[in-house]
Structure 1
């Protein structure tokens, strides 16, 4: 294959440089603003802070109960991720390995749920949780458990579809070899398929976690002051009298750390999982 010409290489460098500047500029503004006193942020913008301070990173924990919001988001995101991955593994295995009546209808239904905006499900879920609470006494509305179930409605269908595609890429000879050795379907899934599908499972888990971690619409309606998550709790830095922009920037950077760290640690699994899951 011939190497690209000199003009192409220069065009590529210019394009990548512009793309990097476009991507990193907002991040630089966030970091710069988070290190300024509030009066400097509210005044004319300067790229380089005249006064550097770490006080906003200390104040974010007292201006709003950020630690409680962080804990709520962590519990809800981990719970939704664990349930999505666990249920999706069994459902995707059935779709990938078995032919049963209603299989095509089930697959189409799972995919069709991704075409509708989340706001269409907001009112039905709200009324459903209210009726369940009135009839059974189980308070789903305003609880972490209710929010976890809510997030399953849009993370689980995609997880099933993606894992089914990944399971299809695993040779069926492994299933047959396990069957010859006396393994049943469940044993084959746990001992053979799941270890071979680790990249796909990790990709599904990362997707479910990121979706739950940054979700705003359902969290703003389905939570209360006790169960509020980070995506909603960050609004507390805007009061009737003022907006603590330096603390908003600092808090946004802090709450992004778990997602960025997890993505970097699991990047090789994520790329492999998305590549194989897309080939179906």
Structure 2
């Protein structure tokens, strides 16, 4: 009984430490976004300070961040939709027809660091005069989001019983019809999981956009760098811009967490 009580106390303390370590930087970031640069450097005003909206005014109006938000939304949405359109049928084929070699290629694509491809990408796309446009950003994001979607959906399709499709074929449906009318509706939680994770990756991606975007196609993670100068850093504006990038994704994750959990665990009960 004592051991059980001691373990519960240890678990509660460990959980509190982990939550504090994860939440404290976010809370500090949000609080700093409402401070002036002078207050941020003043340790006596860490908790008690006079809030100001000047940083958000700089971000949303003077720095043209509304356009950067639209750019990030468009790139993330387009890359996610195209990756789902290609990745879901590919994952179904690999799962149902036991395409081990193709699955290995997908796994290798997930392992390859994206930075190793930036130089050849830049060379090829610059010769095609695509650097600075939305199309090159969408294609570069798809390189990571497409293998991610295929990997998640393969596990989900592996968890769906084959008997459902076999029954549909007996009832007169074609293989494509069985996939469209039986398998696809059942895989909505997995598709939601893959789409959400792909969107989050595209929204947060910095490396590809830094090299391949232009002045008119700059996304939010790259635009944050505007607050970092050679001689000084606008910490208030930087924290406000980072909050604008972070909070929408956190809100989305909170509302759709059940789809993420169900989709990621769907293939774990196969066999």
Normalising to structure 2: TM-score of the pair? 0.93
Aligned to 2:46, what secondary structure does the other structure show? coil
Question: For structure 1, which segment, 2-11 or 114-123, has the greater mean C-alpha deviation from structure 2 after superposition?
Answer: 2-11
Is 1:242 the equivalent of 2:232? yes
1:185-239 Cα distance to aligned partner (Å, 9 max, x none)? 2221121111111111111111111111111111101001110111100011123
Aligned to 1:121: 117
Describe how 1:65-144 pairs up with structure 2 within 5 A: 65-99=64-98, 103-131=99-127, 133=128, 139-144=129-134
Please state how far the C-alpha of 1:242 moved relative to its aligned partner: 3.1
Question: Which of the residues 238, 259, 267 maps onto 1:269?
Answer: 259
Aligned to 2:59: 60
Question: Which of the residues 179, 183, 188 maps onto 1:193?
Answer: 183
Distance (Å, rounded) in 1 between the aligned partners of 2:44 and 2:183: 55
Describe how 1:249-268 pairs up with structure 2 within 5 A: 249-268=239-258
Distance (Å, rounded) in 2 between the aligned partners of 1:4 and 1:174: 49
Say what the alpha-carbon RMSD is for the aligned residues: 1.9
After the TM superposition, which parts of structure 1 deviate over 6 Å for at least 4 consecutive aligned residues? none
Describe how 1:3-82 pairs up with structure 2 within 5 A: 5-44=4-43, 46-82=45-81
Q: List gaps (5 residues or longer) in structure 1.
A: 134-138
Please state how far the C-alpha of 1:55 moved relative to its aligned partner: 2.2
Aligned to 2:45, what secondary structure does the other structure show? coil
Is 1:150 the equivalent of 2:140? yes
Distance 1:158 1:277, change over 3 A: farther
Distance 1:79 1:171, change over 3 A: same
Aligned to 1:5, what secondary structure does the other structure show? helix
1:79-134 Cα distance to aligned partner (Å, 9 max, x none)? 111111111111011111125xxx32211111112222111111121122123x2x
Please state how far the C-alpha of 1:140 moved relative to its aligned partner: 2.3
Please state how far the C-alpha of 1:158 moved relative to its aligned partner: 2.0
Distance 1:124 1:279, change over 3 A: farther
Question: Which of the residues 163, 171, 177 maps onto 2:153?
Answer: 163
Contact in 2 for aligned 1:36/1:49 (Cα 8 Å): no
Distance (Å, rounded) in 2 between the aligned partners of 1:229 and 1:68: 9
Contact in 1 for aligned 2:40/2:46 (Cα 8 Å): no
Question: For structure 1, which segment, 50-59 or 117-126, has the greater mean C-alpha deviation from structure 2 after superposition?
Answer: 50-59
Aligned to 1:136: none
Distance 1:185 1:170, change over 3 A: same
Normalising to structure 1: TM-score of the pair? 0.90
